[in-house]
Structures are given as C-alpha cells and as structure tokens.
Structure 1
Amino acid sequence: MRIIPLLVLILLYPLLSEAQKSHLNLIPKPDKVTYGEGSFQIAPNVALYSTETFAEASALLKEYPQLQTAPLEIVKKVNKKYQHGIRLFPAEQVDKIPANGFRLQIDASGILIKANEPQAMIHGLYTLIQMGMLQNNPLELPQLTIDDKPRFNYRGLHLDVSRHFMPLSFVKKYIDIMALYKFNHFHWHITDGAGWRLEIKQYPELTQKAAWRNYSNWKAWMNNGRQYVEQGTPNASGGFYTQAEARELVAYAAQKGITVIPEIEMPGHSEEVLAVYPQLACSGAPYTQGEFCVGNEETFTFLKNVLDEVLAIFPSEYIHIGGDEAEKKHWKTCPKCQALREQKGLKDEDELQSYAIQQMDEYLQSKGRKLIGWDEILEGGLTKGATVMSWRGEEGGIKAASMGHDVIMTPGSYLYFDSYQTDPRTQPEAIGGYLTLDKVYAYNPVPKELDADKAKHIRGAQANVWTEYMPTYQHVEYMTFPRALALAEVNWTSQETRNWLDFKERLQQHYKLLQQLDVNYYRPSYNVVSEIIFNKERLSNTLMLTAEQLVPNIYYTTDGTEPSHRSTPFTNPIEFTTTTLIKAASFIDSARVSPVEEIKLDIHKAIGKKVFYNNSWDGYPAEKELTLTNGVVGGLSYHDGQWQGFTKNFDAYIDFERREEIKSVAMRFMQIPGPGVFFPGEFQVFLSDNGKNYREVGTLKNLEDGKDPSLKFKTFEIKLEKPQMARYIKIVASNVQKGFLFTDEIVVY
C-alpha cells in the first residue's frame, strides 16, 4: 500500500461510512448499479414465478432464510399477468443482456431477475441472497437495477485433501461460500503422495491402504518414514470419499453453478500408489520413488482404468492430471523407460514425460474430455487441446497462451493461499511465502506481455490451497478467507472498475457475513506495519504507519519510551533526517491492542557507497550493487526486492574513497528454515587503509541451531571499543547451513 492512497482513505472514511448506509457492499463488485428511490418490503409468502428454464435454480432462494415465498409457479409464457412478486424470467432481445450476464431489478412491484442461461440466473440469485445477508433488515431491499456479468469464464478455488483429509460436510461448506462469491470451478486435489482419497472399485488397495498413514499430521508423517497402513489398524489416520459421496458433492456443487474438477496426479507425486502397487514403479519396490514407470505398459492400463471410474463420477469438461515436479531420475536408469525412449525417438526425459502426458490427453479426448495440468506439462511439447495452469510464475501461462493453449493463471506469488498472510512471527507455521490480502487484490490475470489475440486464451485465475500445514478444516478457512474474496473480485469485476480502497471498505461488512456462516476467517490485525521511503538526495526517511484495520488508531514515541494513548497520534507521514528509534502501537480508547513495534531509521555513513563483492549474490539480486547501501531495509519476505540472497559465504567490502572514523558495523539477516534460509555461523568485520592488508576488528558467533521453524530477524553488530580510521570495510558472514543467507543493509556509524 502506498502512502497517498492510505491518506485518502483516512480523509474519506467519514464520507465512505455515510455512503455505506445507502449503497451496496456486494463482493464481487457489480458491473453497473442504478439506484431508484425508496425500498421494497418483501411480504410473507411473496409470489414466486419462474419459467421452466430457471425452475431448478429457484430452489437457491432457500438460502435466503428470512424469505418465505409462495409455492413456485411455472410460467409457460411471460405476460402482463406476472408483474409482481419474485420473477425469474429469460432475457429478451430488447434487454440487451449479454449471454453470460443478468439483470436484477428491485422496484415497487417486487424483484425481477432476467438472464439468458441458468448459470447467469444463479449469479443473479446469489447477488440477491448476498444483498439480503448484508442488510440490517433482510426483508427490506433498496430499489435499484443491477446489470452484471463476469470478466472471466473460469473462476476457480482449489482444495488439497491429500495432505490432510477434510470431511465431506466441510467440502460442501466450502462450495457454499464459493457460490456466494461467484466462483464457478472447484479444483479437488484428491490424490497425492500423502494419501489417495477417492474410491476406485477396480483397485481397492488405493483406499484400503494408500488412504491411511501412521501419523495424522502431515509434517510428522513426512519426518518419520512416510509409511501407509491398512485401514482399521489402531494408529490409522486418513480417510477417503466413496464414489457415492463424490457424486453427491458433484450434484450439490452443480446446483450452485459450480463444476468440480478432479485431480488425479501423474506421472509424479504418486508415492501412495506405488506403495501398494509397486510393479508400476521402475524399481518394482515400494517406497523407492514417486513417479510411475512410463516404460511399463501396465502403468497406462492402470491410469486409464482409474480415469474410466473418475469420468463416470465427474462430468466436468476438464480432468486435471497434475504433471508437476516429476523427478525423472529413475527413468534415466530404467531399462523399460529407456527402451521406450529409443523406440519413440525421444531425445530426453522431458520428451518421455511429454509422451506420457500425450497418451493420457489422447485418451481423455477420446472420451470427450479435455486435459488440464500444471505448467510442467509444457516440457517436451503439448497436444493441441490441453489447458495449462501456470503456477511457477506467469511465464508458463505466457508461453502456453502464445502457443494457442488456454490458460488458468495460478502464480504462487499471488494465488498460493498456503503462504503467510501477515507477519509470519505472529502466525501458525505455514509453508513459507508472504501473500497479503492487498497483494491478492492487486493481481491482474492478463499479463501485459500478451497482445489481445493471445490474451483471449487467459480463461481466468484460481487460488490454490495446499494443506501440508493445515491439519483441520478450521485452519483451511483461516488461510482461505478473506483472501478468496479478493480473488472473487479479481475474477469477476472488470480491471478498470476495481479499486482496493473501495474493496477494503466493502469488506468490513463481509466480516459480519462470514461470522454468520461460521467461517473461521483470518481477522484483520491491529499490529503496526511500517513503510519507509528513503530519499537519497535529502538523506531522509519518510515513515508511514498502518495496520490491517480500516482506520487504525496508532500512537508513537521517538524518545525511547513505550507508547500509550497519550502519546503522539499518527495521522500523516513523517520525515526524519537523523537516525531515530520509533516505538508504535495500536489502541482502542486507552487500551493497547497490539505489540509495540520498534522501527529503527538509520541515516548512516555507508549510504550511497559502492559495495564490491568477492562472492556474488545467487538468485536474489534485489537491486544488485546498490542494495546493501541504499538506506532501504527489507520487509517480511525475501521476495520483496530488498533482500539479497547468497548461497556461498557473504564476502564483500565497501570503499569510502577516503579514510573515515568507524565506530560500528552492522548487518541484519533473516532466518526461516522451511525454505532453507538461515543466519550466518560467524559474522566478521575487517578494516583496511589500502584495500589489501585487512585487520580484524570483531567476530560474532551465532548460537542458534536453525531448528526453530519460525521467521526471525537478527542484527549482527560489531561495536569497536575505540573508533578507528579506515578507508575500506570488509565483511565476511559464513554460510554454515549451506542454505541461503539473506541480508538487506550494511549499516556503518
């Protein structure tokens, strides 16, 4: 968030709050709303009319609990007789309603929804239902006309039930919330190495054993042998969905306008299958690999037999086959795989994977379906009808769209909801990453690199909810909502119409709605977040203090004392031209409701000086040579462009170009062991007058073992007993863990 927009929000909050009383707070934001005068009071047993086309959709009005209608009357021909009550009627040519759009009109005569197709009518009904849920009196609605349509035809939300099995009742609840916010595709990740979750009658061991393991918690299972156990053993933990239950969910979702897309992982992420059917592995032994042997014809027999049963349950156009993260190393030494490669004239293992994907694609197409997979399916070539989910950034999606393939955008940096959504130091353990609500909202699924002709292949976007660190459905809710509401608007509302401040204002009313639905959503934090803009010309820091609250009450001090409600209130950005320590916290009246945040603003001697690297950065250049002396500190994520990453020892020096008095040298490092980021083992500082002969002036040893999985920051500072004169400062920080060292600034006084 930038400073000016937040100031606008603060100044406009009284006006926004007043407007909220008379305007809608719908999410996603409608395309066009025209307000009338007054309101419409819904009477008990209000008449309900529908043509046959929309009769089934009319049942959704049961989700408007305060609304009691007369029995549905099927209208064969719309005429003047039906000019009151609630009416679900087809659009006429004169209405000029797009094929996928709807019109919701509320006036003195009642409620009229028009659409061309049942799917669009469902969207209109959920707009009405959501409107009722947001009203103080659900039976009194404002008179208005809403004309609306989606930006994208694919609006997806994913759920991984392999790592942690989720009860069917929760999956239905998940569908309920998706429908309310106009998602229309549910990507059900039902097989993976942690467990097979769908009954396959021809292969009963998939659910008798591969669905059960000896630890309920995925991380404990991963760290303790990764074994599967027979259903019914005392320590068996897991579960699966019967085919009847899967059909029940498919029908349940379809009533709400949602298509269920199953994912059956292949050729990788299949450890659970190969544990019970080891003849499908290259080694022929269980617990040796996660990839099917693609040189074994029995592999394709198995996969086609499984897909036959899957196709009989799921009528979706798409069937997801995964296709990601296959190691392929076993194929290199497997006689069967190498024989197939030579027989088919395939040059490498990428083309071997491509061959396997194409076999399944052709099989699905022969059944009238389409294959969809993660962007690795591009490796080695792709059949014409396949659709790509771009998760490793947008590059795969850009490449696929340029080749004429349809694309669903799911980039990890914007749409992986297993990432931390706020300061990781305050949150339950997650897989890593840092994805805030406003960053989700800022995403545009159409990359600027694509021209209009290629951009048409971007069918929409999807968020992925991987559950390695979500052992319960309550935790899934916590990680998914309200971020999913931001994606709902990204997918539905036109790019030009979307506005973060407007969305954030409307979102305040949806917290109440999520409470009504008993959703364990992530509550906005009172914790103070700082944003510092360094001005290199003025050598000054401009400080902005915010919190996730709509309009937080933040008080701060600059004299080292703890802030209270009597301290200085933060209202506008503050510029500091000297080194300053700020302490800030949020308050409700006189009560402090957040920890005290300490922000050190350094105006130090090394700012603007050039850094020379004996060991260069690796993979994370940030601002290259300008990074470590630009006066800008890093944030909570090493992806923010201010953290520089090193896989070797950090070894660099600064040339002041003349002798300077040195009192202290410090650097801040990050540690988050999950993705392999650690503090240095030792931090050493050397001084020199000629850049050749250095003298050591201090060493600090890190005593932490790196086993604590939480995010930490540590400043390593060498304070000289007496100031020394030197032209050069060299710093060496040892990478004893052989992971990444991340640092953001060299601070010299």
Structure 2
Amino acid sequence: MHIKKSLCLFILLLLIISCEKEPAQIIQPQIIPLPNSVEIIDSFFTIDESTGITYDDDLKVSALFLKDFIESGSPIHLKEGNEIQFKLDNNLKPEAYVLTVSKDGMTIKASTDQGAFYAVQSLRQLMPVGLENDTFLENEITVQALIVKDEPQFSYRGMHLDVARHMFSVDFIKKYIDALSMLKINTFHWHLTDDQGWRIEIKKYPKLQEVSAYRNQTLVGHYSDQPHQFDGKRYGGYYTQEEVKDVVQYAKARFVTVIPEIEMPGHAQAAIAAYPELGCTDEPVEVAKKWGVFEEIYCPNQKTFAFLEDVLDEVLELFPSKYIHIGGDEAPKTRWKNCAHCQDLIKKESLKDEHHLQSYFITKMEKYLNSKGRQIIGWDEILEGGLAPNATVMSWRGTSGAVEAAKSGHNVVMTPTSHCYFDYYQSENEDEPLAIGGFLPLEKVYDFNPIPKELTIEESKYVLGAQGNIWTEYIPNEKHLEYMAFPRMLALSEVVWSQPEHKNYKDFVSRLENFHLRLDALDINYANHLYEIEGDLISEDGKSYYELKTLTEGKSICYTLDGSEPTFNSKVYDSKIPITESSTIKAAVFNEEKQLGKTFTQNINYHKAVGAKITIDKQPHKAYSGSGAEGLINGISGSDSRYGDKEWLGFWGEDIEVTIDLGKKTEINSFEVRFYESNGQWIYLPDKVIVTYVDDENNFSNDMRVEFSKPFFEDTERTKKINLECIVFESGNSCKTRYIKIKVKNYGTIPEGKQGAGNKAWTFIDEIIVN
C-alpha cells in the first residue's frame, strides 16, 4: 500500500509539473518611434481579472484609454486597485513620461495627460496585437518588465492630408488621427480648400457648399499624359460644421491638434467659381477639373478681405488651434499684373512689385488673425516680398526657406519635397499605383535631419519640427492613401520623436517588420517593400561588379544573369557579381519556405563608358543626387516615370558641363543621353545641349561638335517616337575620341501660367550611353 501510494503521488507530481506553463522568454521591445531609454528587467507582469487601475485625475484621459484598450480587446475587465498606477510627476517635461513595469505592477509617471498618453502608446506596443481588433481571447496578458524613459526631440510632429482634390469620410479621418496618435504625432494639418474643391461649410456663404464644393469632372490618368482625358462625373462634397467639430474633439481626446488650411491668395479658383467678384476679372470660372496651378487668384480688394475675414471667423469657432494655415504657395501674379486696382494698390502702398503685394496681402490677414489671438503658418512662398511679422514658415521647396526664416528669427516647420512628400513613389517597381512623380523610399524618409546644417545651434531652436505631406491628386480612395502613408509615416515619427544618436535604420526595419502585424490587425493598408532587393553597379580597378542587398536579415537572395526567374535552386548571392557584358539580373528573397516579395529585375547595358572617369562641374542638388556622377555611366537607366530614383541627377536652375574620360582614344558609333520632362513638377528639358568629342591630345574640330536646342526639343513628332519622358540623341557618325564633353544649358525661368511660374526650372539627367 505504501509503495502504491508513493507511486500515485509521484505520478500526480509529474502531471502537475507537466501542466505548468513554459517560462516566459525575455521580449525585446519593438516600439515605434524608438524611446530615448529602455532598460529590460528579467521579469514579467501579468494583467488578469485581479488587476486593478488607479489614476490621478489630471491623467484621467490616458488611464481610461488604456482601460478601454484592454477591456475592448480582451475578456479582461480591470477593477479599482494599485497594480496599474498613473502618477503625476511635475518634474517631467510636458510630453515626457516614465513607464515602469515590474513583476508586481506597472506605473506611468507624467506631468501632463499628454505625456501619460504617450506612455500608453508605448505600452500598447508591448501587448499582443490581438488587442487591436478584439481577437485576443486569453484571460491574461503578459508584459515584459522594463523601465522606459522618454520624451520627444521636436515639439511639432505633423502629418498633412489634402481633402480638396479627393475627399475622405469622417470615419476615415478619425482612423487617420488614431494612427497619428499611436505614433505620437501631435498635429493634423487638414488642407480644406483648393482650386478643385472647397470642403468646409461656411454658413454665411452658401455658394461655397453649392458651387465650390463640386467639380463637373476629374482628370483621368496623369497630368503629363496628353491630350488630357476626363471621367465626365461630377465629384465633390464638404464637411459640415458639426462634422468638423466632431473631428476636432475626437483629435483633442487623442492629443492631436488639428490645423485647418484655408488657401490664399492663390489656389482660390473654387471659391471664385462661386463668387466671381473675389477675382480680378469678375468673369465666371468653373471649379478646376484637372490638377496644377491656375491663374485665378483673390483680388486684394475690400470685398475679398471682408469675405476672408468672415470665413476665418467661422473657421476660428471650429478650430481652437494656435495656428491657422493660410497657404500662400503657388500664387501666379498674371491677374494682378493686368488688374488696374492691383497696380494702383502697389503704387498707393509704395510696394515694389506683385511679390510685395502678396506680402501685403498675407500681412493684412496675419494682423486680422493676430487680433483674434491666433498666428499664421504658411508655405515658404510667404517669404517672398518680405515675411509677415509673426508668421511661421512651412518649408517645402527644399531647406533654403527654412534657413532664411530661422536666421531672421521666425519659427519653421520642415516639410521638404525631398524627404516629406508621401504622394511620391516609394518603390521603383513598375506596378506601383499612380503617383504625382518623384521617388521617396522609406530609408530616405528615415535619414531626414530636420535641422539644416546652415543653422547655428541658436538658430536651430526656431525649427519646431517636421511634417509629412499627402497631396491627393492621384489618391482617389482610402486604401491607396494608406498605402502611400504607411510605412513612411512610421519612419517620420521616429525622425521627429527619437534622438538622432539612437536612430539605426536596420533596427528600425526589424521593428517595422514586427509592426506590420499591428497594421494588419488595425486593417491599415501599407506598402511592404522590406523583402525587395536593391542593386548597385560598382567599378573597381577597371572592372565592374554588381552588388545585391535586402533590408531584412536571416533570408537568402537567389539570382540569375540570363533573365530567367530565380528559384530555390538558383545561385545564392554571397559576394559581388562580376559583370563583363550586358546582362539581365533577376533576383528574389527567400526564406526556408517560399519567395518573399517581388522579383527584382535589372537590365545592365555594358557600354563603352561604364567604368570610365566622369566629372561634373556642379554638384547635383542634395535632394536629388542620385548615385553621383558615376551613376551617369553605370549602365543602368533610371525610371521613365519617376525622377527621384538613384539614377536621376537633379540640378536646379544651373547650367552644367559633364566630361567623360574613356582612358584612351576609342572608336564610338553612337552617343545617347536622357533628360526627364515633367513641367508639373517644374522639370523642363534643357534650353540647349552641346556635345563635343575631344581626342587624347585635347584637340577637337567642328565636325566633332553636335548642338541641340529648343527647336529639337519642341519637335513633338520626334519626342513621341522616342519617349514622352526621355529624349535620346545620336551622333550618327563613328569617330575616335578619348573625351566626351556635354554642356547642358538650363531651361531658365518657368513662364507665367505654368506651375512654379517665376521659379528656376529643374534639369534632370540620366544615363549617358556610349556605344
């Protein structure tokens, strides 16, 4: 009996041990944006039905947000108790927090509810993703023990959304705001009016709802496609004042400030369509049905100022934000130049020209808003003609506007096209959804430094932060919008929140791969380019090699050189590939089970200039530096549809001279060079191109000089035969030469009536092919 009893107890003990849970493994936090300091503790805290929560009244919003997040996403209901505590700590900065998790409980310390709310957003990312969509069915939540000390780098952390070109539902706007708050982005810039639609109800002016909110039809395809085609469908709508109040209140509960944008003096065609007396001609116009810049502009008369003051009075009642965005960008002066009233006003006010008239206009509106206790913020064109006294500048045309404003003591928000325009293409894949142009990959967003190097430490204090912009000319629906915003919005959140010395792109990619699960749970569409391949042709000691790499680790790259599709059985990439002839490389990323992502394809044209020496007498613009001068002769052509990839070099308003040294006298049969044309993005073909062949004694004759000028470029039949985007030149004769010199004369100033009128044109140059 004693033996049997002992045996039964032993079996029972084994059963008890076998039923115990596996010990929890230490979990490395995957928080985005990256906190300032994270200390991991070898322990865990468990949230279950016995867990209680208490909070200081000043931290009530964030505490209840956490309570609702847990209870709505799981079967667990928190009671009153001290296991989870929200404590006020006035020693911390307004948006800072300290999150402590131990085996006995969790404590969040902050000096404001906003700081505590950001602690909750970090804590949220330590919890199972099933809580996001009510699919977590367990009765307890295990949280890694740690100490997080955190605060933002910048006070202004923004995302923009244009609803004038395409409108989005109130429910989607709230979803967008939810995403901002999760990433600790504290400002939503709502672009409500433009040439193509007026989207906010103004009760004193009902025609803004009846006329300005609707366009008769919309451009189909890209603006660059000729001839323009339209869908023939009426499009539009507007947000009622009650809907606006609802959105603003919703954002406030998530510590997101909504800044409205009411465009002036340009981008006003929709308003003028309803009230022609606001323009300079009094002639009727229609709400714009295509994209671009239009000459209709508010006339700076008493009717206009009274209208705008009335509009702003209603706007101010709806938006409690410190800032009101007044646009100020892309305002053609043609109407003003031909307007007797405008010319008389210039003389009366002793203004220099129409640019100073715009400054007069902006200053007048600023004074009105200042009298109401508000401040203006505008695009960097408001610098032209003199900056209004208290204005804040949103610098989008590069960083020069920011530098000028900061050096004169004005606050700045950085949003340059080069790093912050999320309506640009983000991949070189040809099947990417239609976009306005450009190329802004995830890594470039992540590498952005909002502090221009031209500023001193003292001047850099005027840089409030940065903002991502989403213009919606080519974004007609919500899923497309999310695809453009994510994951670039995540990269920007880390730019503006995290300390630069802590940033690491490889680490970010690892955290992003994990974050994709949370985006899936939240039903947020996103662009997943993590498993794509990047390639580069490099030259070493007169030999050429091709390098392949991918963002994520722990995977294999398999490739072919003959254009066939890569498989598990293809050659595995382990070192740079020697290139001795023209090839078509195809490669893909594989894990143990399957191919991840799309197949990468690169055609290499191994022409006679590949690996030669090349110089350019000007540096390309830092925003569009491509692969440098060597990229012009690396055998790889850039995209036909986007100008910002690593093959295109951009020069703003400059003439350039390119010299290629083939190393010895070489017979060449043809010569080609490509330029990009996209007038809507201020990119024009050159005014003139001169190609000169020079022998190794540095001699040349007129027979070895070829010149192309505007008549050549304007030959539409030739253009169509080659490519609408790219122009090709051929010498037509063989010759022997060592040096090739290419002089490229910039187009010059963009003419009136065109987008960017009055600004210098861009020149974009691509592969130079020597056969």
TM-score bucket of the superposed structures, by smaller chain: 0.7 to 0.9
Which amino acid in the other structure matches residue 144 of structure 1? L
Partner residue in 2 for 1:566? 569
Residue 489 of structure 1 deviates from its aligned partner by 0.5
Which amino acid in the other structure matches residue 546 of structure 2? L
Alignment map for 1:421-460 (pairs within 5 Å): 421-423=426-428, 425-460=430-465
- Cα displacement string for residues 557-615 of structure 1 (whole angstroms, at most 9, x for unaligned residues): 34676544323211233455x445252221535769634513426373685467999xx
Pairing partner for 2:346 from 320, 341, 359: 341
CA contact (8 A) 1:686 1:696 kept: yes
Which amino acid in the other structure matches residue 102 of structure 2? D
Residue 503 of structure 1 deviates from its aligned partner by 0.5
CA contact (8 A) 2:509 2:530 kept: no
Matched, 1:462 2:501: no
Distance in 1 of aligned mates of 2:573 and 2:40: 38
Residue 419 of structure 1 deviates from its aligned partner by 0.4
Which amino acid in the other structure matches residue 286 of structure 1? P
CA contact (8 A) 1:429 1:710 kept: no
Matched, 1:398 2:429: no
* Cα pair distance change 1:321/1:735, threshold 3 Å: closer
Partner residue in 2 for 1:78? none
Matched, 1:129 2:129: no
Matched, 1:594 2:592: no
CA contact (8 A) 2:428 2:645 kept: no
Residue 618 of structure 1 deviates from its aligned partner by 12
Distance in 1 of aligned mates of 2:341 and 2:37: 60
Partner residue in 2 for 1:555? 558
SS of match in other structure, 1:340: helix
Partner residue in 2 for 1:97? 92
* Cα pair distance change 1:310/1:549, threshold 3 Å: same
Partner residue in 1 for 2:374? 369
Distance in 2 of aligned mates of 1:194 and 1:315: 26
Residue 122 of structure 1 deviates from its aligned partner by 1.1
Partner residue in 1 for 2:52? 47
Unaligned runs of 5+ in 1: 1-18, 74-81, 229-233
Pairing partner for 1:118 from 107, 113, 117: 113
- Greater shift, 510-519 or 53-62, is seen at 53-62
- Cα displacement string for residues 209-266 of structure 1 (whole angstroms, at most 9, x for unaligned residues): 11112225676999999999xxxxx953211100000000000000001000000000
* Cα pair distance change 1:735/1:294, threshold 3 Å: closer
SS of match in other structure, 2:464: strand
* Cα pair distance change 1:100/1:319, threshold 3 Å: same
Matched, 1:546 2:553: no
Pairing partner for 2:257 from 232, 256, 259: 259
- Cα displacement string for residues 31-67 of structure 1 (whole angstroms, at most 9, x for unaligned residues): 1111222211101262121111112332212234335
* Cα pair distance change 1:125/1:331, threshold 3 Å: same
CA contact (8 A) 1:150 1:492 kept: yes
CA contact (8 A) 2:98 2:147 kept: yes
CA contact (8 A) 1:424 1:711 kept: no
Partner residue in 2 for 1:143? 145
Which amino acid in the other structure matches residue 594 of structure 1? K
- Greater shift, 598-607 or 313-322, is seen at 598-607
Partner residue in 1 for 2:758? none
CA contact (8 A) 1:562 1:596 kept: no
CA contact (8 A) 1:634 1:640 kept: no
Matched, 1:744 2:766: yes
Matched, 1:63 2:69: yes
Which amino acid in the other structure matches residue 323 of structure 2? Y
- Greater shift, 630-639 or 142-151, is seen at 630-639
Which amino acid in the other structure matches residue 475 of structure 2? M
Distance in 1 of aligned mates of 2:227 and 2:601: 42
* Cα pair distance change 1:323/1:684, threshold 3 Å: closer
* Cα pair distance change 1:677/1:344, threshold 3 Å: closer
* Cα pair distance change 1:707/1:468, threshold 3 Å: farther
* Cα pair distance change 1:305/1:178, threshold 3 Å: same
Partner residue in 1 for 2:419? 414
- Cα displacement string for residues 68-92 of structure 1 (whole angstroms, at most 9, x for unaligned residues): 676776xxxxxxxx6x322111016
CA contact (8 A) 1:390 1:411 kept: yes
SS of match in other structure, 1:433: coil
RMSD between aligned alpha carbons?
A: 4.5
CA contact (8 A) 1:665 1:746 kept: yes
CA contact (8 A) 1:186 1:261 kept: yes
CA contact (8 A) 1:672 1:709 kept: no
* Cα pair distance change 1:563/1:72, threshold 3 Å: closer
Alignment map for 1:576-725 (pairs within 5 Å): 576=579, 578-579=580-581, 581-588=583-590, 594-595=598-599, 597-600=601-604, 602=606, 604=608, 608=612, 631=634, 633=636, 635-636=638-639, 638-639=643-644, 643=648, 660-662=666-668, 665=671, 667=673, 675=681, 691-692=700-701, 694=703
SS of match in other structure, 1:583: strand
Residue 491 of structure 1 deviates from its aligned partner by 0.6
Distance in 2 of aligned mates of 1:467 and 1:164: 6
Matched, 1:236 2:234: yes
Residue 461 of structure 1 deviates from its aligned partner by 0.4
Unaligned runs of 5+ in 2: 1-23, 131-135, 287-293, 751-760
Pairing partner for 1:202 from 201, 204, 217: 204
Distance in 1 of aligned mates of 2:278 and 2:615: 55
Distance in 2 of aligned mates of 1:271 and 1:560: 51
* Cα pair distance change 1:226/1:574, threshold 3 Å: closer
* Cα pair distance change 1:628/1:583, threshold 3 Å: closer
With the length of structure 2 as denominator, give the TM-score of the two structures.
Answer: 0.80
Which amino acid in the other structure matches residue 184 of structure 2? K
SS of match in other structure, 1:452: coil
* Cα pair distance change 1:465/1:144, threshold 3 Å: same
* Cα pair distance change 1:38/1:342, threshold 3 Å: same
Which amino acid in the other structure matches residue 445 of structure 1? P
Distance in 1 of aligned mates of 2:494 and 2:659: 48
- Greater shift, 117-126 or 247-256, is seen at 117-126
- Cα displacement string for residues 412-453 of structure 1 (whole angstroms, at most 9, x for unaligned residues): 110000100001522121111100000000001011111111
CA contact (8 A) 2:244 2:318 kept: yes
Pairing partner for 2:154 from 152, 156, 163: 152
Pairing partner for 1:305 from 275, 294, 310: 310
Which amino acid in the other structure matches residue 270 of structure 2? E
CA contact (8 A) 2:295 2:334 kept: no
SS of match in other structure, 2:508: helix
Pairing partner for 1:168 from 157, 167, 170: 170
SS of match in other structure, 2:438: strand
Residue 540 of structure 1 deviates from its aligned partner by 2.5
Distance in 1 of aligned mates of 2:412 and 2:621: 31
SS of match in other structure, 1:534: strand
Matched, 1:268 2:277: no
Partner residue in 1 for 2:5? none
Distance in 1 of aligned mates of 2:542 and 2:298: 62
Distance in 2 of aligned mates of 1:319 and 1:521: 31
With the length of structure 1 as denominator, give the TM-score of the two structures.
Answer: 0.82
* Cα pair distance change 1:287/1:479, threshold 3 Å: same
* Cα pair distance change 1:651/1:455, threshold 3 Å: closer
Distance in 2 of aligned mates of 1:530 and 1:452: 38
* Cα pair distance change 1:458/1:109, threshold 3 Å: same
CA contact (8 A) 1:196 1:273 kept: yes
